[in-house]
Amino acid sequence: MSTTLRFFRFASPAAFYPLAGKLVPWFSGVAAILAAIGLYLGMLRAPTDATQGDAYRIIFIHVPAAWMSMLLYVVMAFWAAIGWAFNARLASIVARAIAPTGAMFTFLALWSGALWGKPTWGAWWVWDARLTSELILLFLYAGYIALVSAIDDTRRADRAGALLAVVGSVNVPIIYFSVIWWNTLHQGASVSVTAAPKMASVMLLAMLLMTLAFWAYAFAVIFVRTRAIALERDNHAAWANDAVARAPVRQGASS
Amino acid sequence: MNWNSAADFFAMGGYGTYVWGAYAVTLACMVAEPVLVARRHRQARRELGGAPR
């Protein structure tokens, strides 16, 4: 019981602000190290693909970006719903902090996909199920960001955004299963829990390291944005003034 | 090692434009976002009268 209470202490922006500040450098460091190893393996050590040549090397950013775009949407909808259901302010702040990063990964998945599609399919874009549902994901992120910033009453905006995010989450399984449900140009999953991976182990390792790097990057950026939004919202609260006054002056540090 | 020379590496077997086009935009986004978000956080601290950090 007491452990639960201590855990929920961090549901307050005042307690979460310093905690997030301590975690950001660690996540940034882990992201940089994993990306360096992943890129070394993927770009220098992994062999050229027999059918796709070196164009396949886009996979090391395409698949991690696409996975993160879906994962971040689910996490955003989850925290938006928690913020709505339990009137938890920090949860709503976290949901808002996730949206721009999720939108960026969705854009990167589409962009890297277009640059991969041109040499392998002969088209930058096709209106097939996987690509179209991923584009809808980008519009859902954009719609969420536009909606929460269009409503002046902060908590009303949070609730409206939560409704959009939760309803839109039906799109995530559609993206994931689109390659099974529809006849599509996009290839099926290369990695699954139930079957052996359909790729060389060094390629798989590089892709998984890049995914973990993107994941750590997302934590770092989202935590800084959460801190920023918490200060913006609570700029009359005593904790915010204390947090700013107490922190040591470190010129040039970026967190 | 998979490449014979640096030029070989940058050519990416003829797919250089596509591969480096994807990587360059990804790098630009993942450098720009932390810079922008750190600037937003600094701005929030400045408005509270704290030290820019």
Domain spans in chain A, listed from the N-terminal domain onward: 23-235
Rounded CA gap, B18 and B20, in Å?
Answer: 6
pLDDT (tens digit per residue) in A117-161: 999 999 999 999 999 999 999 999 999 999 999 999 999 999 999
pLDDT (tens digit per residue) in B9-25: 999 989 999 999 999 99
A49 pairs with which residues across the strands?
A53
Q: Is A232–B44 a contact, with Cβ atoms under 8 angstroms apart?
A: yes
Tell me the shortest Cα–Cα distance from B36 to chain A, in angstroms.
10
pLDDT of A253 over the 90 cut: no
Under 8 Å between Cβ of A137 and A145: no
pLDDT of A252 over the 60 cut: no
pLDDT (tens digit per residue) in A28-61: 999 999 999 999 999 998 888 888 889 999 999 9
Helices (H), A40-150: 59-85, 89-121, 129-150
Q: Is B44–A249 a contact, with Cβ atoms under 8 angstroms apart?
A: no
This prediction's pTM = 0.91
Q: Is A228–B3 a contact, with Cβ atoms under 8 angstroms apart?
A: no
**DSSP annotation string for A125-142:** ----HHHHHHHHHHHHHH
How much is the ipTM here? 0.91
Tell me the shortest Cα–Cα distance from A12 to chain B, in angstroms.
18
Contacts of A65 in chain B (CB under 8 A): 26
Q: Which of A16, A244, A249, A251 should be substituted to probe chain B, the one whose Cβ sees the most B Cβ atoms within 10 Å?
A: A244
Q: Is B1–A224 a contact, with Cβ atoms under 8 angstroms apart?
A: no
Q: Write the DSSP symbol of residue A49.
A: B
Q: What pLDDT sits at residue A247?
A: 66
Residue B27 touches partner A, C-beta closer than 8 Å:
no
Q: Is A254–B34 a contact, with Cβ atoms under 8 angstroms apart?
A: yes
Structural domain spans, chain B? 21-53
The closest CB to that of B2, out of A44, A100, A251, belongs to: A44
pLDDT of A210 over the 70 cut: yes
Under 8 Å CB-to-CB from B52, ≥6 apart: which residues?
Answer: A251, B42, B45, B46
Under 8 Å between Cβ of B1 and A44: yes
**CA dist A104 → A77, A92, A218, B21, B24 (Å):** 17, 20, 10, 16, 14
Q: What are A82's two structure tokens?
A: 């928690």
Phi then psi dihedrals of residue A46, to 5 deg: -65, 140
Phi then psi dihedrals of residue B5, to 5 deg: -150, 170
Q: Is A115–B18 a contact, with Cβ atoms under 8 angstroms apart?
A: yes
Contacts of B26 in chain A (CB under 8 A): 61, 65, 108, 111-112
Give the gyration radius of chain B's Cα atoms: 19
